[in-house]
Amino acid sequence: MSADIKVPTLGESVTTATVAKWLKHPGDAVKEDDPLVELETDKVSVEVPAPQSGVLGPLLVPEGEEVEVGTVLSTIEAGSGAAPKPAAAPAPKKEAAPAGVQAQPAASGPVARPATPPSDVAAQGAAAVAFPSARKMMTEQGVSAAQVGTGTGKDGRITKGDVQTFLSQPRAAQPAAAARPPRQDDPREERVKMTRLRRTIARRLKDAQNTAALLTTFNEVDMSAVKQMRAEYKDLFVKKHNGTKLGFMSIFSRAVIAALQEFPAINAEIDGDDVIYREFVNLGIAVGGPNGLVVPVIRDADKMSFAEIESTIAGFGKKAREGTLKIDELSGGTFSITNGGIYGSLMSTPIINAPQSAILGMHAIQDRPVAVDGQVVIRPMMYIALTYDHRIVDGKEAVSFLVRVKQNVEDPRRLLLQV
């Protein structure tokens, strides 16, 4: 009995992946749950395990090819041993044919197989001469294996370091590309292939705009109380929680969670003609990684303390920088927070992470003059923005939610007293 090896569900809104590396060969004996093939998405790498024990069949998709969720990559035939591989007969020695003349097989020898088409040879060659990580970087940078040349890896395979070395060379020292794009570019222009991450971001943002009725409302938060609380308790917090630092993200997270419990539509989701309301909060926190912004999810964040949230966010940040986030850590969110302030953004309109119904945008803290009790004073202020799907969230709910977040942050005692 055979079982298909299919591309698994890759996470929220992730529909395609690239076959990075086959870990087994046709005819190999495999055990259930043995890793068979490594897939790369725009965010993470994932290994596909064997669905049963048996013998691996032909590889239906070569390395480097893009596949969709559900695509059959190979099959496994039930059995305990690898298929026997025929021993290769030693090739008889023969003299080289003169240039331009194709050698003919000896009369007693086997019939020669048809030559592989040149296009297939090129495709196989590109996969054979570079490691998956190197191929990914070459694709992102618009570089061919021929330009990089012979690699420093085993059997001359190109490594990621070889690509980085090539890219660090002055432009004039880099070999010319094998073929120019059909369009004649202006010499002052540079054509670079769009990365998978950028293509996915573009598609998802456009899908969100085409599907949801997006609207953004703004407010501003006086960060004085939060900064004072951090200054007063930061050392004690670190000591109490084994080195975990008290940051703004846990405070905003708890402020958001309290507001979501008061306004459940903002934590809900549209599914066809139904609305799914939730009694839990899976909070997505946008973090920066080498491949761009990713949004790992803090599951059941409503049950976590400040320290647990801070520790989880720190762990996600480390994994994002190392590229080790897993698929299940990037899916299942019910509401997201993004902090453009760490990059200096003063104001923005974030786009929701579908199928979620809203997202909160945090921004840079700036000292600004504000009126307090009839007096003009200088306070550390932050603009906050809530983008929401107007199909499910009314304007009054959105504005009231953002006001409640503002109140919770400006007076963190409200979170303790749950008022």
Residues 145 and 122: beta-carbon distance below 8 Å: no
- Report whether 207 contacts 354 (CB < 8 A): yes
Q: Which of 155, 328, 390, 411 is catalytic?
A: 390
Catalytic residue among 185, 186, 394, 411: 394
Instruction: Please state whether beta strands 283-285 and 297-298 pair in parallel, antiparallel, or not at all (unpaired).
Output: antiparallel
What are 404's two structure tokens?
A: 């409640």
Of residues 132, 164, 162, 135, the one with CA closest to residue 149 = 162
Asked if residues 398 and 266 have their Cβ atoms less than 8 Å apart, the reply is yes
Q: Output the six-digit token pair for 297.
A: 């999810």
Strands 292-294 and 365-372: what pairing? unpaired
Containing 46, the helix (H) or strand (E) segment is strand 45-49
AA identity, residue 345: S
Q: Measured between alpha carbons, how far is 219 from 402 in angstroms, rounded to an integer?
A: 7
E strands within 315-414?
335-339, 358-362, 365-372, 375-389
Cα–Cα distances (Å) from 187 to 184, 191, 394, in that order, read 9, 10, 51
390 catalytic, yes or no? yes
Question: What sign results for the dihedral spanned by CA atoms 38, 39, 45, 47?
Answer: negative
- Listed in sequence order, the residues at least 6 apart from 155 whose beta carbon sits closer than 8 Å to its beta carbon are none
327: nearest Cα among 351, 358, 295, 355: 295
Catalytic positions are 390, 394
